[in-house]
């Protein structure tokens, strides 16, 4: 059996194979008719701090704090959106049953989409896993496997929310309690009728839903949350972020993420406009709404999509996304290295200002905003990478990252569809180890590992069709072995294939001359040989061959080198994008 990669935290297989079950009887073998999940609640996980004895989540008397949940914005009956799935926290009071111990129960669930989303936690001291089935309205049945991390020891890097305390009969413990959202694939195009839970002692399910697919939308711009640093602090300030589209469309919606947070964040109002110059808009900014209201509160760990807005989004252009923060924000989820100047206003709601006058401070990251989607289009290509994909050493404000150049190439041809291009690069990111631990305020914004962020940053991205993985150099530079990186890349490929994505890999670029990279060249070369020859991915982008000096293959061509021997400059980044065989982005799965 293949050894699974492990980092400082356990890497979880939070995915499942979609396997058709030939007998529909497998979904109803217990004879029970499917019922809503809340009618099956048989365990109490939440207690009031003053009455901890009213709940016993794990059999030892320990429980979640109702006060901590409220502080995080996870209040009874509240709808939460996590990884694109809308889940409802149980509408129960502290001390009442609020979750199901998975034991093969049949749950009534309806909807069409690309995945089932479970809000879960384990109480067995480690990962808890079991197999279940999905029944469809056409009579077909498919199988899935669900893995729940432990509520006390699971990785903080993949949690939906972490709470600061545990309640026990002997008093409150200052120990983090975790809850997780895990998705598993379902049959595309089929309507779900019911779900059979696994039979797995210690696996608790709080909520379950079908994640609606995003057909009708194409991702035009995206950024990964790379950490949760201190900011501002901002009180009664408007942020005006400058983002660059890939594809355009007649409608727009925005995505804001409160990833890694411990408390809710309030957006008072938001607008979108096409940039004229700096913080100035070409026309009066257009107001956005959130479920019909001007603003939205985003609970800890959750996200919010704006309502669809009729707005002509131009291709290959800069947008101004403005949002007002009425309360004090001292730390925020952020994509640190934007390589794009954005702006912070003087006090007040300046979202509707077309003039740049109120925007007196410059911002060099992208807080909270993680996606811009446009109506229509063929779907998106997701680029999962590190600093080279993030654009490190490219010219600021010029949009010369290799994903930008690739997006422009796609727009100018008619061989393959005009896919949106989503840049999910994070500077300093690694395949198998977390730079940011996934919880708390941190100065390190290198992100959680590619393995830990794959579900959020690839699988949950809008209309993702193909993913390109261009990572590994930071792993080998910091001591990971080639077999460890290979195992991580193999797992990423497997998880993408499980969800029907076309998976491409890029070879690691040459970087001799950078101190850490020179020492790791043998490991880099071994990873590249595997990428080229293993056949695990559906196609290979040989970026090593594009950038290397023919007379000294371990080194980057001087004309492509930014000067640090690790990052290409503008010319090198353009060469990467120009080298991509665009047909690889849309060839049938299995084509090599």
| pLDDT greater than 90 at residue 102 | yes
Which of 143, 144, 134, 142 minimizes the C-alpha distance to 194?
A: 134
**pLDDT the model gives residue 145:** 97
CATH architecture of 378-592: 3-Layer(aba) Sandwich (3.40)
Q: Is the pLDDT of residue 21 over 80?
A: no
Residue 358, pLDDT above cutoff 90? yes
Q: How do 230-234 and 329-331 pair as beta strands? A: antiparallel
Kindly tell me the burial class for residue 284, based on how many C-beta atoms sit within 10 Å of its own C-beta (0-12, 13-18, 19 or more): exposed
Q: Looking at the whole model, is its pTM more than 0.75?
A: yes
Query: If phi over 0 gives left and psi between -120 and 50 gives alpha, with beta otherwise, what is residue 31?
Result: left
Q: Which residues pair with 281 in a beta bridge?
A: 275
| Six token digits for residue 239 | 């942020």
Cis ω before 133 (30° cut-off from 0): no
Contact 577, 409 (CB under 8 A): yes
Instruction: Note the pLDDT of residue 301.
Output: 98
Residue with tokens 């379950």: 208
Higher pLDDT, 12 or 436: 436
Residues paired with residue 556 on neighbouring β-strands, in sequence order: 548
Domain boundaries defined on the chain? 19-211, 227-372, 378-592
- Beta strand 366-367 with 334-335 is antiparallel
Query: Residue 355 pLDDT more than 60?
Result: yes
Spatial distance between the Cα atoms of 226 and 558, rounded to a whole number of angstroms = 30
Dist CA 302 CA 305 (whole Å): 10
17 vs 294, higher pLDDT = 294
> Is-contact 306 351, C-beta < 8 A?
no
- Vertex 333, ends 268 and 10: CA angle to 5°? 140
Residues in contact with 170: Cβ distance below 8 Å, sequence separation at least 6, in sequence order? none
Please report how many Cα atoms fall inside a 13 Å half-sphere around the Cα of residue 160, on the Cβ side. Answer: 33
245, 313 Cβ separation under 8 angstroms: yes
Residues 150-206 have pLDDT tens digits of 999 999 999 999 999 999 999 999 999 999 999 999 998 899 999 999 999 999 999
């Amino acid at each position: 059996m293949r050894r699974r990669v492990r980092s400082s935290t356990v890497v979880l297989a939070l995915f499942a194979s979609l396997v058709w079950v030939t007998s529909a009887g497998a979904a109803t073998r217990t004879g029970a008719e499917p019922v809503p999940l809340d009618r099956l609640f048989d365990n109490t996980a939440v207690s009031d701090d003053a009455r901890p004895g009213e709940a016993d989540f794990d059999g030892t008397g320990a429980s979640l704090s109702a006060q901590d949940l409220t502080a995080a914005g996870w209040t009874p009956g509240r709808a939460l959106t996590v990884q694109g799935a809308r889940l409802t926290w149980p509408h129960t009071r502290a001390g009442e049953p609020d979750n199901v111990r998975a034991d093969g129960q049949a749950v009534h669930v309806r909807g069409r989409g690309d995945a089932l989303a479970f809000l879960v936690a384990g109480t067995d001291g480690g990962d808890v896993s079991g197999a279940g089935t999905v029944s469809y309205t056409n009579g077909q049945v498919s199988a899935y496997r669900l893995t729940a991390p432990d509520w006390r020891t699971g990785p903080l890097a993949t949690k939906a929310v972490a709470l600061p305390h545990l309640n026990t009969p002997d008093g409150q413990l200052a120990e983090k309690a975790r809850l997780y959202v895990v998705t598993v694939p379902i049959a595309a195009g089929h309507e779900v009728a019911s779900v059979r839970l696994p039979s797995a002692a210690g696996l608790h399910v709080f909520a379950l839903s079908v994640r609606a697919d995003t057909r009708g939308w194409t991702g035009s711009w995206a950024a990964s949350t790379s950490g949760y640093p201190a900011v501002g602090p901002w009180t009664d300030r408007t942020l005006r972020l400058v983002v660059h589209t890939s594809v355009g469309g007649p409608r727009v919606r925005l995505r804001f993420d409160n990833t890694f947070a411990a408390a809710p964040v309030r957006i008072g109002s938001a607008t979108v406009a096409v940039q004229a110059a700096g913080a100035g808009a070409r026309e009066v900014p257009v107001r956005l709404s959130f479920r019909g209201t001007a603003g939205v509160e985003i609970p800890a760990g959750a996200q919010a999509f704006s309502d669809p807005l009729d707005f002509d989004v131009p291709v290959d252009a800069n947008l101004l996304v403005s949002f007002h923060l009425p309360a004090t924000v001292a730390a925020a989820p952020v994509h640190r290295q934007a390589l794009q100047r954005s702006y912070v206003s003087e006090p007040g709601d300046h979202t509707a200002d077309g003039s740049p006058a109120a925007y007196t401070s410059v911002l060099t990251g992208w807080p909270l905003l993680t996606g811009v989607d446009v109506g229509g289009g063929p779907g998106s290509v997701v680029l999962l990478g590190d600093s080279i994909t993030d654009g490190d050493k490219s010219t600021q404000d010029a949009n010369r990252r290799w994903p930008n150049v690739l997006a422009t190439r796609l727009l100018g041809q008619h061989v393959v569809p005009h896919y949106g291009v989503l840049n999910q690069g994070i500077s300093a990111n690694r395949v198998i180890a977390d730079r940011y631990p996934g919880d708390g305020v941190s100065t390190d914004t290198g992100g959680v590992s590619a393995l830990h962020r794959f579900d959020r940053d690839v699988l949950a991205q809008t209309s993702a069709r193909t993913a390109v993985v261009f990572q590994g150099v930071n792993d080998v530079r910091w001591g990971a072995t080639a077999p460890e990186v290979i195992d991580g890349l193999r797992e990423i490929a497997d998880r993408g294939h499980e969800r029907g994505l076309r998976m491409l890999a890029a070879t690691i670029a040459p970087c001799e001359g950078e101190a850490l990279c020179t020492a790791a060249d043998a490991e880099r070369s071994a990873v590249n040989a595997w990428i080229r020859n293993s056949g695990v991915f559906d196609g290979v982008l040989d970026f090593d061959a594009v950038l290397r000096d023919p007379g000294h293959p371990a080194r980057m061509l001087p004309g492509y080198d930014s000067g640090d021997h690790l990052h290409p400059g503008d010319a090198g980044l353009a060469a990467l994008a120009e080298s991509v065989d665009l047909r690889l982005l849309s060839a049938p799965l299995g084509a090599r």
